[in-house]
Structure 1
Amino acid sequence: LVSVEWLCCKLNMLSICLLFSILFVTSSKQLLGGENSLDVNNDKVESLAFRALQQENMRSNSLNHLVLIRVKDATSQIVAGINYKLTIYVGESECSKNTVSAQDAHQNRCKLVSGDDARLCKVTIHEKPWLNVFEVADFDCTSVPRAEALQA
């Protein structure tokens, strides 16, 4: 037969273990379903930025390609797929959409047009790689000084 004291001791230990488990999970940086920071220098992040920028270039009426200056911030979130949120700096290049392909504009690092302007863009991407789905849900830009975009 199990004594009442032994049972209380076991219940207290289980309660303490449960409490520490909850504290550990809630203090963890990467919660399940939560946003996780990504390394802005990661090849995947650069690829996401390029693909989103490529779609924006096709959508816009600008004569020249927008090119990536740098990625400021990137996060991912596992949902029914992966949501990516990127904050990127872009600028208008000297490369015409009529004469230079998006891939060449990206690889050749087309020079930025002269001036002091750049754009800070918030980009939301929904990806389901197993279904070959890549959707730019939002691409919202504001003008910023180019000096800000060029800061490392």
Structure 2
Amino acid sequence: MNASRSFKALALAGACGAGLALALGAPQAQAGPSDAWSQVDPADDHVQELARFAMDYFNQRSNDSMQHRLIKVLDARTRVLAGIAYKIDLLEGETECGKNTTTKEESRRCPLKEGGTRRRCTAEVWERSWENFTEVRSFDC
């Protein structure tokens, strides 16, 4: 295969992959190499949903007696990796709700505790939407 055909095949494959990502509801990212992270809109509804999913993961694994909730998504990036990996920088805070007194949905609406902890964290979430698979790979504050 000559260089011109190789480039056309890669361009077509890239266009098909972008179309698949759009069809699956993934936010549009700026173009770049597949091993590089690409910026996405932190206000995107899907990014917000994944940030809340990561906070649920944090609350399940935290030893804190109080629920924590998402305050704001600060930055978001994606890369294609046998699915889509999201790296989400977020601000989270301690709420007035105890862990044993609220459901997951209620904890997302709990008021923030005055003087409670606030932290900047980074969550990495891996998603294969065609398999209905979402996993938090890491959550670091």
TM-superposed deviation, 1:77: 0.6
Q: Give the Cα–Cα distance (whole angstroms) in 1 for the partners of residues 116 and 54 of structure 2.
A: 24
Q: Give the Cα–Cα distance (whole angstroms) in 2 for the partners of residues 93 and 60 of structure 1.
A: 14
Q: Could you tell me whether the CA contact under 8 Å between 1:121 and 1:139 is conserved in 2?
A: yes
**What is residue 32 of structure 2 aligned with on the other side?**
31
TM-superposed deviation, 1:132: 2.0
- Structure 1 gaps of 5+ residues are 1-13, 15-28, 142-152
Q: Can you list the C-alpha shifts for 1:23-73, whole angstroms capped at 9, x where unaligned?
A: xxxxxx412413221111111011000001101101111111111110100
TM-superposed deviation, 1:81: 0.7
Percent identity of the aligned residues?
A: 36
Q: Give the Cα–Cα distance (whole angstroms) in 2 for the partners of residues 58 and 116 of structure 1.
A: 19
The answer on 1:95 being equivalent to 2:97 is yes
Alignment of 1:32-111 (within 5 A): 32-33=33-34, 34-106=36-108, 108=109, 110-111=110-111
Aligned pair count reads: 113
TM-superposed deviation, 1:126: 1.1
- Structure 2 gaps of 5+ residues are 5-29
TM-score, normalization by structure 1? 0.69
Aligned in 2, Cα 1:39/1:55: closer, same or farther, shift over 3 Å?
Answer: same
Structure 1 residue runs of 4 or more that deviate by more than 6 Å after TM superposition: none
Q: Give the Cα–Cα distance (whole angstroms) in 2 for the partners of residues 135 and 57 of structure 1.
A: 15
Q: Could you tell me whether the CA contact under 8 Å between 2:73 and 2:90 is conserved in 1?
A: yes
